[in-house]
Amino acid sequence: MPEKNIDNIDFEVLNKKAISQPLVSHIYTADPSAHFFNGKIYIYPSHDIDAGEAFDDLGSHFAMEDYHVLSMDSIDSEAVDNGIALHVDDVPWASRQMWAPDAAHKDGKYYLFFPAKGYDEIFRIGVAVSDSPVGPFTPQPEAIKGSFSIDPAVFQDEDGSYYMYFGGLWGGQLQRWREGTYNAEHLESPTAHLPKNHELALMPKVAKMSDDLLEFAETPKDVVILDEQGNPLLAGDNEKRFFEAAWLHKYKGQYYFSYSTGDTHFICYAIGDNPYGPFTYKGRILEPVVGWTSHHSICQVEEKWFLFYHDSSLSKGITHLRSVKVSEIIHDENGLITTLKPYQK
Ligand code: FUB
């Protein structure tokens, strides 16, 4: 994970030009999954810390230990930090690296979905349950059966079905599951087992959730992303293919699958007519931010739509110390999303 060059950035100037400012600055937060539950905005971010881990291409420096839920009474109000919602020490199966979470609400209960490494060094996805949207959450004793990799995003469809989208390359280990089981060869290499440029890109996964939201109701399937000509994206389509940070929102009956292109630093989207896809690539939602990663969510708050995202402007470019931000996005008359430039007020 090579650092982007930040030597020439004047952060004072950049922060003045930024289209939005960090929602909180007393802690570092990242990977925001935002939801509008019961008339309030809840943001489920990663809680970035500097744990002193060396920087590497497997993301070992993302050594997060807990989650804090942020809440906002309205989009213009201050974000409140509701304290620790879940700590890795309380999750029996998880050893470290509490990465990007998401949440869902069903029948008066709130569900926090989160990836973490098990004691076998393999990323799995767990669930924790609470009566409150801000926790504390009680984890299930085991990870979700059949789960793997990172970055869960749970979408509730209008018919009451819930689907989990997930996956992430390099340190997120998706490429190690190409044959259906975990490939532990060349563990030190983040890029071993990736497809060659002319091969099909690795696709994120989707699975319908069980009624109690604690398990998958089916074996995860590929989320196929097509190019504008209707062909599945290739691994060499670096500026368009999926890397991590899956998200799904529905706008005017269409399903929008959005994601990060990782090492090329874009947030892109593709549109389909059902939750499984295929989804056709449509363009970029967000140009690169300061910091290596880009990770977002899209949330409707009353009549408007908002992009929650992060950057490393507050930490002056430190990749694993990020801050959550929000900016309105526009779907034009054809349903296409206008690209945001993060530093062009
Ligand atoms: O926060 C750790 C990882 O960085 C997330 O899981 C990825 O999406 C990237 O943002």
pLDDT tens figures, 267-312: 999 999 999 999 999 999 999 999 999 999 999 999 999 999 999 9
Is the confidence at residue 52, as pLDDT, over 80? Answer: yes
Ligand 1 contact, 151 CB (< 6 A): yes
Question: Which H or E run contains 326?
Answer: strand 323-329
Closest-CA residue, ligand 1 atom 9, reads 293
- How many degrees, rounded to 5, is the angle at CA 113 between CA 299 and CA 132? 75
**Owner of token pair 């996964």:** 205
Which of 1-5, 21-25, 110-114 is least confident?
1-5
pLDDT averaged over the chain? 96
Which of these is catalytic: 31, 48, 151, 237?
Answer: 31
Closest-CA residue, ligand 1 atom 2, reads 99
Predicted confidence at residue 331, as pLDDT, reads: 98
Ligand 1 contact, 102 CB (< 6 A): no
Predicted confidence at residue 54, as pLDDT, reads: 85
Q: Distance between the two ends of the chain, CA-based, in angstroms?
A: 29
Predicted confidence at residue 133, as pLDDT, reads: 98
Instruction: Quickly list H helices, the chain.
Output: 11-17
pLDDT tens profile 176-227? 999 999 999 999 999 999 999 999 999 999 999 999 999 999 999 999 999 9
Is the confidence at residue 317, as pLDDT, over 60? Answer: yes
Is the confidence at residue 56, as pLDDT, over 60? Answer: yes
Q: Report if pTM > 0.75.
A: yes
Tokens of 337: 């999303």
Is the confidence at residue 6, as pLDDT, over 90? Answer: no
Predicted confidence at residue 4, as pLDDT, reads: 65
Which of these is catalytic: 48, 102, 237, 244?
Answer: 244
- Tell me the CA–centroid distance for residue 76 and ligand 1, in Å: 26
- By CB atoms closer than 10 A (0-12, 13-18, 19+), residue 217 is middle
Predicted confidence at residue 3, as pLDDT, reads: 56
Structure confidence at residue 7 as a pLDDT band (50, 70, 90): confident
User: For residues 40, 46, 47 and 49, what is the CA-based torsion angle, rounded to 10 degrees?
Assistant: -160
> 3-class DSSP state for residue 56?
coil
Domains in the chain with CATH codes:
3-329 (2.115.10.20)
Q: 126 with 164: CB under 8 angstroms?
A: no
User: CA 345 to CA 343: how far, in whole Å?
Assistant: 6
User: CA 36 to CA 23: how far, in whole Å?
Assistant: 16
Residue 31 annotated among the catalytic residues of the structure? yes
3-state secondary structure 144-167: CCCCCCCCCEEEECCCCCEEEEEC
Residue 244 annotated among the catalytic residues of the structure? yes
pLDDT tens profile 73-110? 999 999 999 999 999 999 999 999 999 999 999 999 99
Ligand 1 contact, 295 CB (< 6 A): yes
